[in-house]
Chain A
Amino acid sequence: MRILVVEDDLEAQRYLVNGLREAGHVVDDAGDGDIGLTLALSRPYDSMIIDRMLPKLDGLKLVEEIREHGNTTPVLFLSALSEVDDRVKGLKAGGDDYLTKPYAFVELLARLDALMRRRHPAAVKTRLQVGDLELDLLTRTAKRGVTDIDLQPREFRLLEYLMRHASQVVTRTMLLESVWEYHFDPQTNVIDVHISRLRAKIDKGFEAPLLHTVRGAGYMIRARA
């Protein structure tokens, strides 16, 4: 994938660019808003990572400008600003996701992955399937093999989100934001408890586990390849 990184902190930029390249992406970088804008408008990208505060042209303005030109490339904002309503401002300006510094690189990768996949949605599905686990979005029922699985509404949403991002790392923060719509960091690891309950329902008693813990990152649902 082709990614544009606009970041004025050169060390952070180098780290970001190296990490993305290691993950197999093609990366262009820009150190200020003006160069960022020129690049964004002249080359096609699959996604852009833009710092909120940039010299010459502010990150928010940069995204607004890109959007005015009809460019819909997914944008992930990075911000070192305090967060209470900056997230809202970032999303209003046309950003697709918002990550506060300092962030874990796996978190950034997972979010970027989700953003780029959202850009090319498969045909509208009413049924999700991972291995022998099936989720019917119309009847709101789950089935593994021939066994019906009884899920609470929230568990259903959790499983739905995981299955929509099958074979992708999904971080705890992403789950908290998407499934529960909370943008804060709970002191206790609540998500882990919810996941372990879900795991008990979909994996317990079956031969091949589908819901995996990705160490230091989050979770992933995947059928054995």
Chain B
Amino acid sequence: MRAPSVLRTLAFRIVLVYVTIFAASAVALVAFTYWNTERALDAETDQTIDAEIAGLSEQYQRLGIAGLTDVIIGRSIRGGLGLYLLTDSLKRPLAGNLDSWPDAKARADNFIAFDYERHAGAGFERHRARGRTFALTGGFQLLVARDVDERYKTQRLFTTTLPWTVTLMLVLGLAGGALLSRNLLTRLDSINRTSREIMAGDLTRRLPLTRAGDEFDTLAGNLNRMLERTERLMKGMRTVTDSIAHDLRTPLNRLRNRLEGVLKHLDGDRPEAREVDAAVGETDTLIATFNALLLIAEAEAGVAREAMTPVDLPAVVEGISELYGPVAEEKGVSLELTPSGTARIEGNKSLISQALANLVDNAIKYTPAGGSVRVAVENTSGGIAVSVADNGPGIPPADRARVLERFVRLEASRNSPGTGLGLSLVAAVARLHDAKFELSDNAPGLKATLLFAGRTGRRLVPTG
């Protein structure tokens, strides 16, 4: 389906408008010139005829009808383009090279256009003539005309060829336009394709440059420089996270090692051992918080975009529900999964699983025994919605935006374990996937929804 996309391009539309205007103005110009020339030639013919009539009528006045007849006979046998006919009052021919008075009706100024037949070799040829009638005193009628067949033919030729010329002009123009826009489209296509690949996470890609050095190359060059900058920034971000990770994990590792070392040489029942054990626990909490922060930073920097693969959302939801099923059951909370078909997106499975685990974990944690948690994947008009709804205490509307910030924990939950980063991670994962993360009222309870919009080129439509 190449043609329709060519027809839809801006270049083609510009060419179309241009060709139309060009054709219209060319036709107008030619028509004007033609009309003008025609008028000038007609005027010239008319002048000649007028002059001749004036001359002939003078002859008539001077020499009478016999003299005029002589003159007309004389002129008639000369051949050429002049046509003459002198008749009596009943239009019976007296002299001239036309054998009868033409049928055509004269205009108000006595000009007349008519066809006549002329000897041409063995037969006759139909010719067009233009002339003027003149009534002489004594009832005699005089017709002086000129053969304008040459011009008439030219005119006919012109009017028959003009539409063809215009058509040819339009066809050539449009073909040129299509060619031009296809050319532009190919260039734009390659730019678009590369941009999509870059958006999908391959930051090392660059837009192709041609040897032409035209505007497109300038544009591509500028975009490439921008991409280089972005890539450098991303690499910088990556280096910073990596070095923070390395520089903090190494001492944390030593700390944990030392505590474990101490613990190994202590009798497990001594109070010191319990203290050290608690210290190991604190270290682990510290590590967990630190890991969560790093993960959020990575998700926000889009670093994880490199690891995007097709992810089957219902399968992920099912997996997490299965993982947390026994936890919910233990707490007396029912965990319900609304079954659904397949809904694939392009994403980081590990991060989506973790985000969903955080949501389900929270929902179970805040739902009292006897309550229920409902997990669902739905294909909505806005995209694929993954939702976790509980009927716990919920979050007041005023606090809903705040809980997504790092380390924010509401007063009510200060005493339960957690890092305060769970929802921040979900929000970061949502941003990484261009998904919308929404907290709403489940009346009673909280409904957390991740809406994967499926931006063009991102979402995979299941085939077959």
Tell me the A residues contacting B by CB distance below 8 Å: 9, 11-12, 15, 53, 80-85, 88, 100-105, 154, 180, 182-188, 190, 193-194, 197, 215-216
The residues of A that contact B66 with a CB separation of less than 8 Å are: none
Specify the main secondary structure of chain B where it touches its partner.
helix
The residues of B that contact A193 with a CB separation of less than 8 Å are: 326-327, 330
The residues of A that contact B330 with a CB separation of less than 8 Å are: 193
Determine which of B241, B257, B295, B422 lies in contact with A15 in the assembled complex, contact meaning CB atoms within 8 Å. Answer: B257
The residues of B that contact A194 with a CB separation of less than 8 Å are: 326
Determine which of A180, A185, A188, A216 lies in contact with B291 in the assembled complex, contact meaning CB atoms within 8 Å. Answer: A185
The residues of B that contact A53 with a CB separation of less than 8 Å are: 246
Specify the main secondary structure of chain A where it touches its partner.
loop
Q: Is the CB of B304 within 8 A of A186?
A: no
Q: Is the CB of A188 within 8 A of B350?
A: no
B406 CB, nearest partner CB in chain A, Å: 16
Q: Is the CB of B253 within 8 A of A80?
A: yes
The residues of B that contact A80 with a CB separation of less than 8 Å are: 245-246, 249-250, 253
B307 CB, nearest partner CB in chain A, Å: 4
C-alpha spacing A194/B324, complex, angstroms: 9
Q: Is the CB of B298 within 8 A of A101?
A: no
C-alpha spacing A9/B253, complex, angstroms: 10
Q: Is the CB of B254 within 8 A of A11?
A: yes
The residues of B that contact A105 with a CB separation of less than 8 Å are: 257, 260
Tell me the B residues contacting A by CB distance below 8 Å: 241-242, 245-246, 249-250, 252-258, 260-261, 263, 268, 277, 283, 287-288, 291, 294-295, 298-299, 303-304, 306-307, 319, 322-324, 326-327, 330, 348, 350-351, 353-354, 357-358, 361, 364-365, 417-419, 422
C-alpha spacing A80/B291, complex, angstroms: 11
The residues of B that contact A103 with a CB separation of less than 8 Å are: 253, 256
C-alpha spacing A100/B255, complex, angstroms: 15
| Besides A83-B291, A186-B323, A190-B326, 16 new A-B residue pairs in contact (Cβ under 8 A), listed by A number | A9-B254, A12-B253, A12-B257, A15-B254, A81-B242, A81-B246, A82-B242, A82-B294, A84-B298, A84-B350, A101-B249, A154-B322, A190-B324, A190-B327, A193-B330, A216-B277
Known A-B contacts A105-B257, A193-B330; the reply to A182 vs B323 at CB < 8 A is yes
C-alpha spacing A88/B306, complex, angstroms: 11
The residues of A that contact B324 with a CB separation of less than 8 Å are: 190
The residues of B that contact A84 with a CB separation of less than 8 Å are: 295, 298-299, 303-304, 307, 348, 350-351
Known A-B contacts A82-B294, A85-B306, A188-B365; the reply to A183 vs B249 at CB < 8 A is no
The residues of B that contact A187 with a CB separation of less than 8 Å are: 357-358, 361, 417-419, 422
Known A-B contacts A80-B246, A190-B324, A216-B277; the reply to A185 vs B256 at CB < 8 A is no
Q: Is the CB of A185 within 8 A of B288?
A: yes
A40 CB, nearest partner CB in chain B, Å: 23
Determine which of A12, A82, A197 lies in contact with B254 in the assembled complex, contact meaning CB atoms within 8 Å. Answer: A12
C-alpha spacing A193/B295, complex, angstroms: 26
Q: Which 6 A-B pairs have the closest CB atoms?
A: A102-B253, A80-B249, A184-B354, A80-B246, A101-B253, A85-B307
The residues of B that contact A215 with a CB separation of less than 8 Å are: 268
The residues of A that contact B283 with a CB separation of less than 8 Å are: 102
Which single residue of chain B is at the shortest CB-CB distance from A197? B326
C-alpha spacing A103/B260, complex, angstroms: 11
- Residue from A9, A11, A80 having most chain B Cβ neighbours under 10 A: A80
Which single residue of chain A is at the shortest CB-CB distance from B351? A84
Q: Is the CB of B357 within 8 A of A184?
A: yes
The residues of B that contact A81 with a CB separation of less than 8 Å are: 242, 245-246
The residues of A that contact B295 with a CB separation of less than 8 Å are: 82-84
Which single residue of chain A is at the shortest CB-CB distance from B353? A182
Known A-B contacts A81-B245, A85-B307; the reply to A184 vs B353 at CB < 8 A is yes
The residues of B that contact A15 with a CB separation of less than 8 Å are: 254, 257-258, 261
Known A-B contacts A84-B295, A185-B288; the reply to A12 vs B250 at CB < 8 A is yes
The residues of A that contact B250 with a CB separation of less than 8 Å are: 9, 12, 80, 101
C-alpha spacing A184/B429, complex, angstroms: 14
Determine which of B307, B323, B364 lies in contact with A88 in the assembled complex, contact meaning CB atoms within 8 Å. Answer: B307
C-alpha spacing A37/B249, complex, angstroms: 25
C-alpha spacing A85/B327, complex, angstroms: 29
The residues of A that contact B258 with a CB separation of less than 8 Å are: 15
